[in-house]
Amino acid sequence: MDELLQEFIAETQETLEALAGEVVAWEADPGDRDRLDAIFRFFHTVKGSCGFLNLPRFERLSHAAEDVLSEIRAGNRTADPATVSAVLGIMDRIAELAEAVAIGAALPDENDDYLIGALAEREQGAATEELAPTVEPIRQGGAQAVPRTIRLPLSLIDQLMNGVSDMVLARNELSRKLRERTSDPELESVFERLSTCVADMRDSISKTRMQRVERLFTAIPRMVRDLGRELGKRIDLVLEGGDVEMDREMVEMVVDPLTHIVRNSIDHGIETPEQRRALGKPEAGTLKVQARQSGNQIVIEVSDDGRGIDTARLVEKSIASGKLTREAAAKMSESEKLELIFQAGLSTAQQVTAISGRGVGMDVVRANVERIGGVIALHNQIGRGLRIALRVPLTLTIIPGLIIRSGGLHFAIPRAAVVEILHDNNETLHIAEVGGAKIATIRTVRHSMIDLEDVLGMEKVVQPGPRAIMVVRSATGVPFALGVAAVDNHEELVIRPASPLIMATGVYAGMTLPDNGKPMLLLDAAGLANAARLPNIVDERSIDQLEDSGDGEARVEMVSALRFEELSGERRLIKLSLVERVEDVDATLFGRSGGNAFVRLDGRLVPVANGAHSFATGHVSALRLRDGSQEACYPVAAVLDIVEMPAVPDMVAMQGALSGVAVVDGEHLEVLNPFALFASLPGGPIVERRRGRCVLADSEDGWTREILAPLLRQAGHDVLLGLPQDEAVDPADVVLCSGGDVSQAAEILGCRIVQLRASPRPTGPEDGSIYRYDQDALMAAISGTRR
């Protein structure tokens, strides 16, 4: 009986969590029969289970709600706001009783008759219904069925994750041991398989800790409805991205900041219907909550079309509180004024309400987000609305990291926090001291600079080579330069909590064990910036744009760009003016010749800009690019949309195929460098070489069968074991053999012969054979680029 009771309580709590949003959605569309049936079935199930479980209060409450819903289903009653509020009240009481039973506490002794009596009350008059706020959550095709699940103790999942974390550490240590010994191809192959298995197991167990972001969204429709009714506001709610997954611990940590932001938007962001009519806005305000995955981060955006943040009022209140002088305020940019919202106690509201106060608690919201390695950013448009973006890590258990050295010690830093790494002798870098502070200018962009030894109070160790300078993202979104002795390695790091005394310093995010087995501390980029009290130094071009702008907003030249997804999964941008057209191309038309990838289009061979020539699908999307005279093809995984991006990327990095990073809709996207792209194309016409088979003459040799043949098949070659008996060797074929004089065989067979030797060194200057483990020389000989 105890097991049945626990199962009943668990299922009831799980269903209640998802059902609150369904009730609110049903109120917005009373004709949605599927949602009404789902709500009715919940109360019917609770009532049916309570009889033999001896839960009379559950039974009485659910029976009353079931009767009212039955009348609505029969058409004898309408789903007016008062009825919906009463049903939600019954659900809240059942949730309270279920929580009490689950923890073994005494059941609350509230008056259930009051809630049951409220079910009999109805809204009086049509005018009252008109003033009731409307909440319209995004619909997902009717009522969502609650999936059946297997419940496991969280301690067991954590134990599994700790176990796989130890496996990652053991794998890293084994990797170090193998590097210290002589190379053994067979052992390295086994180790790679082991690493793949460990990585797959880690990903699988990590998924058991993942939860859909929609769990964050379940309470929002109810909150919006209740606050809207209380404040007399009409609100259209849009929820997007509920299918995105993140670590359950991250979900729990983001709930409170997200709730606070949503309450602020409703209370002090969105205006009343009368105010919106006077401003020429629709009576119903729009509140949008979106979630999406960006790399190894989750981006959650809350936006409204309300009044935005009045930065002038923020400045006045900051001056009145003594936290800011008028002289300093006169020199502040619009973004710096907006940052004042994170000062404790500041608010743009005329009066502080019991619900919220924009600014009251925003310092706590930022602190909570930064504590889990996240960043909060504001995008304000006075009179038009506010968008708040939270960027938090996908998980905090295993992360890619960089191993750095400073003061004779090793530290780790999350790879996601590092934008760029260069040495202090780089020609594009200039370091100067201004007023006792270091300024690093990288390609005309200025950054505040600190040395890690200075922040941690360590002595700089004299070293013969140059120091490393890392451009690191800070909590405010403005990168800063961090000087370290060297960047030694990059690897996946298992993160463990550090001691409270260490975490109290504010510059560490935990500890980790790299592959050398020695514990090291994980640096917190935001904590380092705060500890060094870095000023916000931005690009001089941005300052000029702000000064030239009459309305305080930057005048940035924008161009149209195509946003697409690479075959490797990255989302990037390319100027739309370079794209002649987008089309689906048959994968069989792609090939490779002389080290150059090509595609056969319109009866001619066109170079492939990114080198891709083999695909898993029958058709591939491709961008047809043209610089005016030269044409190129760029295969992609998917074409997403056309957006506007700055003509000069927000972060310039003229390196390789990328010209920098642009921020579009809150997403950091790499921008393709067209100069490097077209410069990498072959100068002359592409000649398609006929591709034959690889004929392995020594078919009985174990090395030939077990090592050489799989290598060639993996490289995409057709392999034939042994010389053909009943057919002639094709002139395009390549015969691979070991030992003997091959000149006569070449004349007889009429094709190219590649001779392999077991010794790394040739027997003499006339030896034209190839060492069988020299993979590059072997592939070049097969392709015909080496004779």
Range 2-131 classified under CATH 3.40.140.10: no
Poorest-pLDDT segment among 361-365, 574-578, 709-713 = 361-365
Is the pLDDT at 613 greater than 90? The verdict is: no
Is the pLDDT at 266 greater than 80? The verdict is: yes
Say if CB 93 and CB 115 are below 8 A apart: yes
Is the pLDDT at 135 greater than 80? The verdict is: no
Q: Show contacts of 309-315: CB within 8 Å, 24+ apart.
A: 309/338, 309/341, 309/348, 309/358, 309/378, 309/380, 309/382, 309/386, 310/348, 310/382, 311/337, 311/338, 311/340, 311/380, 311/382, 312/337, 313/348, 314/338, 314/340, 314/341, 314/346, 314/348, 314/359, 315/340
How high is the mean pLDDT of the chain?
A: 77
Tell me the per-residue pLDDT of 742-776, one tens digit each, with 9 for 90 and over: 555 555 666 788 888 888 888 888 788 888 888 88
Under DSSP, is residue 284 helix (H, G, I), strand (E, B) or coil? coil
Q: State the pLDDT at residue 548.
A: 43
Q: State the pLDDT at residue 749.
A: 66
Q: State the pLDDT at residue 388.
A: 92
Q: Which residues contact 93 (CB under 8 A, 6 or more apart)?
A: 61, 110, 112, 115
The token duo for 361 is 């608690």
Is the pLDDT at 515 greater than 70? The verdict is: no
CATH topology of domain 398-543: SH3 type barrels. (2.30.30)
Is the pLDDT at 229 greater than 70? The verdict is: yes
Considering only CA atoms, which of 296, 138, 154 is closest in space to residue 214?
138
Tell me the per-residue pLDDT of 144-196, one tens digit each, with 9 for 90 and over: 444 556 667 767 877 887 788 778 777 877 877 777 776 778 888 888 888 88
Q: State the pLDDT at residue 785.
A: 62
Q: State the pLDDT at residue 155.
A: 73
Tell me the per-residue pLDDT of 619-651, one tens digit each, with 9 for 90 and over: 899 999 988 788 899 999 998 888 888 887 766
Read off the pTM.
0.47
324 vs 632, which has greater pLDDT? Answer: 632
Q: Burial of 316 by CB count in 10 Å (0-12 exposed, 13-18 middle, 19+ buried)? A: middle
Q: State the pLDDT at residue 732.
A: 75
Q: State the pLDDT at residue 468.
A: 92
Q: State the pLDDT at residue 124.
A: 44
Tell me the per-residue pLDDT of 374-418, one tens digit each, with 9 for 90 and over: 778 888 888 889 999 888 877 656 677 888 999 989 998 888 788
Is the pLDDT at 287 greater than 90? The verdict is: yes
Give the architecture-level CATH label for domain 556-679.
Beta Barrel (2.40)
pLDDT category of residue 453 using cuts at 50, 70 and 90:
very high
Under DSSP, is residue 345 helix (H, G, I), strand (E, B) or coil? coil
Is the pLDDT at 787 greater than 50? The verdict is: no
256 vs 725, which has greater pLDDT? Answer: 256
Q: State the pLDDT at residue 541.
A: 40
Poorest-pLDDT segment among 127-136, 294-303, 411-420, 687-696 = 127-136
* Range of 66-70, 103-107, 686-690 with top mean pLDDT: 66-70
Q: State the pLDDT at residue 445.
A: 80
Q: State the pLDDT at residue 739.
A: 65
Poorest-pLDDT segment among 10-14, 435-439, 635-639 = 435-439
Is the pLDDT at 555 greater than 60? The verdict is: no
Tell me the per-residue pLDDT of 556-585, one tens digit each, with 9 for 90 and over: 678 889 999 998 888 889 998 888 888 888
With a pLDDT cut of 70, the percent of the chain lying above it is 80
519 vs 240, which has greater pLDDT? Answer: 240
Q: State the pLDDT at residue 207.
A: 73
Q: State the pLDDT at residue 151.
A: 65
581 vs 495, which has greater pLDDT? Answer: 581
Is the pLDDT at 302 greater than 90? The verdict is: yes
In this prediction, residues 270-276 reach a mean pLDDT of: 91
Q: State the pLDDT at residue 289.
A: 92
Q: State the pLDDT at residue 719.
A: 84
Q: State the pLDDT at residue 349.
A: 52
Say if CB 228 and CB 133 are below 8 A apart: yes
Q: Which residue has the tokens 């611990």?
A: 249
- Which CATH code of 3.40.50.800, 3.40.309.10, 3.30.565.10, 3.40.640.10 fits the domain covering 212-393? 3.30.565.10
Under DSSP, is residue 762 helix (H, G, I), strand (E, B) or coil? coil
In this prediction, residues 121-142 reach a mean pLDDT of: 43
